[in-house]
């Protein structure tokens, strides 16, 4: 899901949906990489404070955070740097980060604990399952998808997470007037997102149909954004409001 895993993707792992296996195509390939001592310590010792175990039981956000603040969910937060900074900058919101990459989860737990940031929680699981089972309709202020794996080869485009079914799922989970904010440094993916979202029922492009956002709003610069800019890539933000 996050670009942490993009460099490790393998075409041999494609599994199309079929009636025999009932397996679905994933938008990520799980390659964990090296976990540092600090990250492993955080996974072992800080999960209880910051982690949300996956289950098919719906979450009560008010109980989870012990407040009535609105909640923002980020899909695929990578190493957690930008999400943690956003949580620091916006203490009036609750944040849930979803990520499958172990070192990234460990890093976020480590720094959240060290910086005493308490308005953030982490789920280490497939975002599609989390949205289907753990998140409830009309409960989220904003959903964020920043620099997802672009799956740039044409034969892998089927792995891209932005599909009509998932767009509908996000729409259902957002509160009325909630926002879906996306960003990518791959122009082809940006154009695909724009086309799909502009025609998605129940969403309005905040910059007008056919236009990318001229602002990244409260989004903090990410590691992958900096890398892309150094390589001469553009960056495209898309912000949609639930109608």
Per-residue pLDDT at 212: 98
Domains and CATH numbers, the chain: 3-242 (3.40.50.150)
Q: How far apart are CA 70 and CA 68, in angstroms?
A: 7
Q: Which residues contact 17 (CB under 8 A, 6 or more apart)?
A: 23, 24, 25
pLDDT in tens, the chain (243 residues): 444 443 333 333 343 444 444 456 554 455 567 899 999 999 999 999 999 999 999 999 999 999 999 999 999 999 999 999 999 999 999 999 999 999 999 999 999 999 999 999 999 999 999 999 999 999 999 999 999 987 455 664 676 899 999 999 999 999 999 999 999 999 999 999 999 999 999 999 999 999 999 999 989 988 878 887 888 889 999 999 999
Out of 5, 149, 185, 237, pick the active-site residue.
149
Q: How many CB atoms lie within 10 A of CB 21?
A: 9
Q: How far apart are CA 111 and CA 11, in angstroms?
A: 34
Pairing of strands 94-98, 140-146: unpaired
Per-residue pLDDT at 152: 59
Q: Is the pTM of this model over 0.95?
A: no
State the Cα angle at 196 between 193 and 199, rounded to 5°.
Answer: 140
Going by C-alpha positions, the residue among 190, 140, 4, 8 that lies closest to residue 80 is 4
Active site residue 149: yes
The edge-to-edge listing of strands for the beta sheet with 203-205 is: 120-123, 94-98, 71-75, 140-146, 174-184, 236-242, 203-205
Going by C-alpha positions, the residue among 209, 29, 30, 38 that lies closest to residue 110 is 38
Per-residue pLDDT at 26: 54
């Amino acid at each position: 899901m996050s670009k942490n895993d993009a460099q490790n993707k393998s075409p041999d792992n494609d599994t199309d949906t079929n009636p025999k296996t009932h397996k679905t195509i994933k938008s990520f390939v799980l390659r964990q990489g090296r976990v540092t001592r600090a990250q492993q310590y955080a996974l072992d010792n800080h999960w209880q404070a910051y982690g949300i175990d996956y289950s098919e039981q719906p979450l009560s956000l008010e109980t989870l955070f012990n407040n009535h603040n609105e909640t923002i969910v980020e899909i695929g937060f990578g190493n957690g740097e930008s999400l943690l900074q956003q949580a620091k900058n916006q203490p009036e919101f609750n944040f849930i980060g979803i990520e499958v990459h172990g070192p990234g989860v460990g890093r976020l737990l480590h720094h959240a604990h060290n910086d005493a940031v308490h308005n953030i929680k982490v789920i280490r699981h497939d975002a599609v399952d989390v949205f289907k089972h753990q998140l409830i309709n009309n409960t989220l202020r904003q959903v964020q998808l920043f620099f997802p794996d672009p799956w740039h080869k044409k034969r892998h485009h089927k792995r891209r997470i932005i599909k009509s079914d998932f767009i509908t799922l996000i729409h259902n989970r957002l509160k009325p007037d909630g926002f879906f904010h996306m960003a990518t440094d791959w122009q082809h993916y940006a154009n695909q997102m724009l086309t799909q979202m502009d025609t998605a029922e129940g969403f309005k492009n905040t910059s007008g149909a056919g236009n990318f956002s001229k602002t990244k709003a409260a989004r903090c610069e990410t590691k992958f954004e900096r890398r892309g800019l150094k390589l001469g890539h553009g960056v495209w933000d898309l912000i949609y409001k639930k109608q």
